[in-house]
Structure 1
Amino acid sequence: MKRTLAIFIWLTAFPAIVSAHPAWGMAVDKDRNVIFADIFHNGGTIWKLSPKGTLTSLGKGIHAHNVNVLENGDIYASHGEGTYYMLRIPADGGSAKKILSSTDETKYFGGNSAVSDDGNVYFGIRKYIWKYTKSGPVKFSDQRLEWNQAMFLDKDGSIYVPDIGVGNGTVFRLNKDGTSEKLADNLISQLDRPKDKHNDVLLGMGKDDAGNLYITETAGRRVIKIDPKGNRSTFYTASKGWKPTAITFHEGDAYVHEYGRIGTAYDFQIVQINNYGKKNVLVKYSSYIGKKSAYGQMSGWHSSKHSSV
């Protein structure tokens, strides 16, 4: 495959459908709004889910796999098809602004990109993770990655990356001094069928306040917890018909983004898991849209306007 760190064909375990792999990024802001990316609806959408359950589109037609919410509340998302670009959506609700753009994936690739709190942009392409600079990309680490399509930036400057091309699913920590460490391998579940290298993958990651790393694993429909000593356990298993692709934490609660199918259409839901392990579905897209359609409240997003769907 020409792009091992780029967008690959996502073959779902559900009956016959072919599409790009799901988004793997989400975050919760200081007001407990859940911000997440979705490539399957409206040509790609950045969503905001309020604590009261209102789903608002912050932008449509954006093929973004990741979102980052910085400490100042600004939202960053990158478009990963054709012309690659990074958008900043200001916390005050103003117009989204394109802060960088490239048609050359070696200079910037939006399909696998993230922004740190200090404003640095990182991206993965051609088997390495790079730091974006105006004078050209700088290699962040010498760790070679055979098949990587997601990353997680830690507050200490480390970058966590899955590599599904080695060790049946491996997670590495790339340190800011250029060194790297293997945290865990053999993370992809073996099902009662031949392994599907496009579908049985590792995607979104997050960390809790205790320093445990969590990563979504689609073959087993689960979230894997990896403690600082490298011990792993299953933190959460999605219901049948759903696959977790993103996870984040806020004030002790976990938030999981899951994809499923209704007929030939994709569906998603956001699941909250509290400190006691209680699961609560905050929104299910098909149900939400169905209710809005019944009351005639569907609306589009144009230019700088944010709209409830």
Structure 2
Amino acid sequence: MKKLLFIIICLSVSVNILAHPGIGIVTNSKGEIFYTDLAKVWKVSADGKTKTIVVPNVHTHELYMDKQDNLFGENLWYEGEAIDKWGHFVWKYNAKGQFTKVIPNTEGFLSNYSFTRDAQENMYWIERGKKESILMKRTPDGKVAIVQTLKTTDVRWQYCQDDGTFYYVDDNDLMKIKDGKVTMVSLNVDDVRGHKLRLTPNHSVFGMWTDNNENVYVTIYENREIRKIAPNGKVTIAYTSPLGWHPTGGLFDKVGNLWVLENNDLNQVRVIKVNRTDLSKVASEKSDIEFLIFNLFCLFFGSILLFFLSKKFPVMKSSRLMLQASFLIFFITFNAMAQNSGIAVGEGAPAFDPYHVSGKDKGTKTCPMCKYGAKTEGLMVWINDDLKDYEKMLSFLEAQYLTKNANNWKTFIVFMNPKHENESLLKQKLSDYAKKLNLKNVAFTFISSPTDAETAGVYEINPKVKNTIFAYKKRVITKKFVNFDTDKENFTSLLNF
């Protein structure tokens, strides 16, 4: 009996590991939701109260709904090891509930056809290669053409906006193609480098979609998260699935409610509705202020409890020592919070556009990480302090270019303008400062203020600290220094990462 139970457990685990959940979830003009569970397609009423099977006996990972409320999907099957053949057909379920085959039963896998489409019904897909891949397009009249060639590692799920902006996952990075230009939306979007390294990154990132504000949402299966990537590159957690469940797809309805397609450890599938007003509640991000209030609350009531217990029970007098210790811990915690600044080690370095007064991009607003980050390593030094205290350190960093290759090593100084000086006057002041220190390779830049949401806010810089220094490699933060003492600390410690 024990052996049988062990076999069943092993089989259930192996099925969960080998399963490839679907991402198909779409909505029609009535607000009804359609989704796949890999065996059939379900329809959920707009209020979420009822659901029915509309297309039975179809194995489809993706779905597409056109403007006329026609639903499209496929059916993929395997003939068995005896003949080792795959087969498929493409189907349509129209607004009247009629089922027809768009592509008849065909041997092999689906080709020259896609459920990733724009508002004009153009289909897009990527033909995968080992080092290069090809973005393909099929027009509504059936013409197939090559759009462009892409340098890729391992292309996975794809998504297209109504305007033709095309997103795809390459290994574990989220990429975007708009008007022929390829850009990186988020490096290492599933955090595989710092989390569960044994897992294959390709099986962690699933469905993606966008909202009306150009935010991109990506489902991270292993982390049970839906991550939101803002246009400025800032990544936050929009939703976390309950323990045992994993998000694989999603969409927003007309009023802004989030519908999440989830798969659990037994390969059950469901769709849940998160009301627009509750979205902020299910996000896992908490501010330092909330954390501080929580600690104060616990400390206050814990102290009262310890006080009364020590009065009533003499044996509890020793708890007064505990009380004193708790106050000490609190102040240490508070001080640590006050000194905390910057995004965490292991996170991707977001895009931001400071003004450059020295270096290759002098006189421009150029995103350092967008232009150089993915292929280089180096430092980003955010200064919210008097520049007089940083002359020795900046000269030291400039001298590093005598032994380091400027194509591989970069140093960016971001002056945060703590006194809110006039921009035109600040440009001249900082330009003179850079010339004084002979900064030719170090990129000296500045932003409008320590609380600017599009720059300091993106990097979560604490405006109360004097400086925040990030070390990075290929656009991933590898080390961080807060309130680095330029008089007492060794500058070479900045280089050890």
**Same fold (TM > 0.5):** yes
| CA apart distance, 1:192 | 6.1
Match for residue 44 of structure 2 among 41, 46, 49: 49
Listed one character per residue, the Cα deviations across residues 98-126 of structure 1 (whole Å, up to 9, x for unaligned) are 2477546584366xx42333222233332
Letter in structure 2 aligned against 1:138: A
Matched, 1:79 2:75: yes
| CA apart distance, 1:48 | 1.0
Q: After superposition, where does 1:1-309 map in structure 2 within 5 Å?
A: 15-17=13-15, 18-39=17-38, 44-50=39-45, 51=47, 53-81=49-77, 82-99=86-103, 103=107, 105=109, 107-108=111-112, 113-126=115-128, 127-132=133-138, 137-163=144-170, 165=171, 169-175=172-178, 177-190=179-192, 193-197=196-200, 200-250=203-253, 251-261=255-265, 265-277=266-278
TM-score by length of 2: 0.46
Measure, in 2, the Cα distance between the counterparts of 1:104 and 1:86: 13
Is the contact between residue 209 and residue 218 of structure 2 (CA under 8 Å) also seen in structure 1? yes
Distance 1:62 1:189, change over 3 A: same
SS at match of 2:151: coil
Is the contact between residue 107 and residue 137 of structure 1 (CA under 8 Å) also seen in structure 2? no
Is the contact between residue 261 and residue 269 of structure 2 (CA under 8 Å) also seen in structure 1? yes
Measure, in 1, the Cα distance between the counterparts of 2:42 and 2:110: 29
Distance 1:73 1:137, change over 3 A: same
Distance 1:116 1:278, change over 3 A: closer
Listed one character per residue, the Cα deviations across residues 49-82 of structure 1 (whole Å, up to 9, x for unaligned) are 1135322222233221111112221111133453
| CA apart distance, 1:182 | 1.1
Measure, in 1, the Cα distance between the counterparts of 2:243 and 2:206: 18
* Greater strand proportion: 1
Listed one character per residue, the Cα deviations across residues 241-290 of structure 1 (whole Å, up to 9, x for unaligned) are 011000111121111101003xxx4212212122222599xxxxxxxxxx
Identity of aligned residues (%): 20
TM-score by length of 1: 0.72
Letter in structure 2 aligned against 1:49: V
Measure, in 2, the Cα distance between the counterparts of 1:106 and 1:28: 24
Letter in structure 2 aligned against 1:204: G
Report what 1:4 is aligned to.
none
* Greater helix proportion: 2
**More relative contact order in 1 or in 2 (CA 8 Å, sep 6+)?**
1
5+ residue gaps, structure 1? 1-13, 281-309
5+ residue gaps, structure 2? 1-11, 78-85, 282-497
Distance 1:123 1:147, change over 3 A: same
After superposition, the CA RMSD in angstroms is: 2.9
Is the contact between residue 183 and residue 230 of structure 1 (CA under 8 Å) also seen in structure 2? yes
Distance 1:146 1:38, change over 3 A: farther
Letter in structure 2 aligned against 1:24: I
| CA apart distance, 1:222 | 0.2
| CA apart distance, 1:136 | 6.8
| CA apart distance, 1:173 | 1.2
Distance 1:144 1:38, change over 3 A: farther
Listed one character per residue, the Cα deviations across residues 126-156 of structure 1 (whole Å, up to 9, x for unaligned) are 2443223687742333223332332211011
Measure, in 2, the Cα distance between the counterparts of 1:255 and 1:119: 24
Task: State the structure with more CA Rg.
Answer: 2
Measure, in 2, the Cα distance between the counterparts of 1:240 and 1:47: 24
Distance 1:230 1:267, change over 3 A: same
Measure, in 1, the Cα distance between the counterparts of 2:258 and 2:110: 35
